């Protein structure tokens, strides 16, 4: 019996149709429930909508290039940022992205008309969501410099943990496994995960091909494409630890001043 492979590779990023970012309503296109808001008294997460948030977020990222330091991707222009959000977030049904808002601060000028209840403090979300296996990866976790070493990170991460690991009767999705991935050079990310009760499982080798100039790469022999490779530290937080002790520990961390 004969067969064919009708797969067609996607267009280069420069050809991605970013006009869809202006659609109203904007389709999140995710295979698990995306809430309109997740919030504590001090922090809220609201879905990332490019027409509302992209320009303000990119302005902050471009002003602080250290934010991209350990990410295995790069956004040199606003259009490249929008193209990434279309191809690798909205078009991926297992992925969702949220704006992190610090509700204790008034909106800044660059965030006027983009968030209602505070100041944009970062980006977070999930990828590789599997309703079949009840597993998901938390990421990215980007906290802008002004809000680092505050309550923002713990609250933002904790809200996602509750969303996935709490049972439906508690308002969650009842997932079994959450994953956190980080560059081996990003000790701060690994430490943040461990403070939120993630447990290190090991290192996945050669997981990423890095854009030129990114830190943490390993050279290849020149026969397997261009771009250095990067390993990834893998941590996890699973339902049994969540119910046994992690939920209480995460709650205490979120409540810290």
Within-domain flag for 82:
yes
The rounded percent of the chain whose pLDDT value lies above 70 is: 95
E strand spans, 61-148:
96-102, 119-130, 135-143
Q: Lowest-pLDDT range, 97-101, 141-145, 212-216?
A: 212-216
Where in the sequence is the domain holding 103, given as residue range(s)? Answer: 38-255
Within-domain flag for 32:
no
Residue 15, pLDDT score: 72
pLDDT digit string, tens, across residues 14-38? 577 777 667 788 999 999 999 999 9
Q: Lowest-pLDDT range, 69-78, 112-121, 160-169?
A: 112-121
Within-domain flag for 211:
yes
CATH assignment of the domain containing 175? 3.40.630.30
Within-domain flag for 7:
no
Residue 111 has pLDDT above 50, yes or no: no
Residue 9, pLDDT score: 80
Q: Which residues contact 201 (CB under 8 A, 6 or more apart)?
A: 234, 235, 236
Q: Which residues contact 83 (CB under 8 A, 6 or more apart)?
A: 13, 14, 16, 18
Within-domain flag for 114:
yes
Within-domain flag for 33:
no
Q: What is the mean pLDDT of residues 144-153?
A: 96
Q: Which residue has the tokens 């505050």?
A: 150
Banded pLDDT at 12 (limits 50, 70, 90) = low
Beta sheet of 229-238, edge-to-edge order = 38-39, 43-47, 96-102, 119-130, 135-143, 177-182, 229-238, 199-209
Within-domain flag for 217:
yes
Residue 215, pLDDT score: 78
Within-domain flag for 133:
yes
How far apart (Å, rounded) are the C-alpha atoms in residues 74 and 95?
18
**Inter-residue contact 124 to 141 (CB < 8 Å):** yes
The mean pLDDT value of the chain amounts to 92
């Amino acid at each position: 019996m004969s067969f064919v492979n009708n797969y067609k590779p996607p267009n280069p990023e420069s050809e991605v149709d970013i006009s869809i970012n202006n659609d109203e309503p904007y389709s999140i296109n995710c295979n698990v429930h995306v809430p309109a808001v997740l919030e504590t008294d001090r922090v809220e997460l609201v879905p990332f909508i490019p027409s509302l948030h992209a320009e303000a977020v990119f302005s902050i990222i471009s002003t602080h290039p250290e934010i991209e330091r350990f990410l295995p991707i790069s956004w040199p222009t606003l259009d490249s940022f929008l193209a990434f959000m279309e191809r690798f977030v909205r078009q991926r049904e297992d992925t969702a992205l949220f704006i992190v808002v610090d509700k204790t601060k008034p909106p800044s000028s660059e965030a006027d008309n983009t968030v209602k209840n505070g100041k944009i403090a970062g980006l977070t979300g999930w990828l590789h969501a599997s309703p079949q296996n009840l597993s998901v990866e938390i990421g990215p976790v980007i906290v802008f410099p002004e809000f680092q070493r505050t309550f923002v990170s713990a609250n933002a991460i904790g809200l996602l943990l509750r969303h996935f690991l709490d049972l439906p009767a508690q308002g969650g999705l009842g997932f079994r496994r959450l994953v956190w991935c980080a560059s081996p050079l990003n000790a701060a990310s690994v430490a943040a995960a461990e403070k939120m009760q993630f447990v290190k499982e090991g290192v996945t080798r050669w997981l990423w091909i890095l854009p030129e100039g990114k830190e943490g790469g390993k050279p290849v022999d020149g026969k397997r494409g261009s771009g250095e490779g990067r390993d990834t530290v893998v941590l996890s937080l699973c339902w049994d630890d969540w119910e046994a002790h992690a939920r209480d520990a995460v709650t205490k961390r979120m409540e810290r001043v």
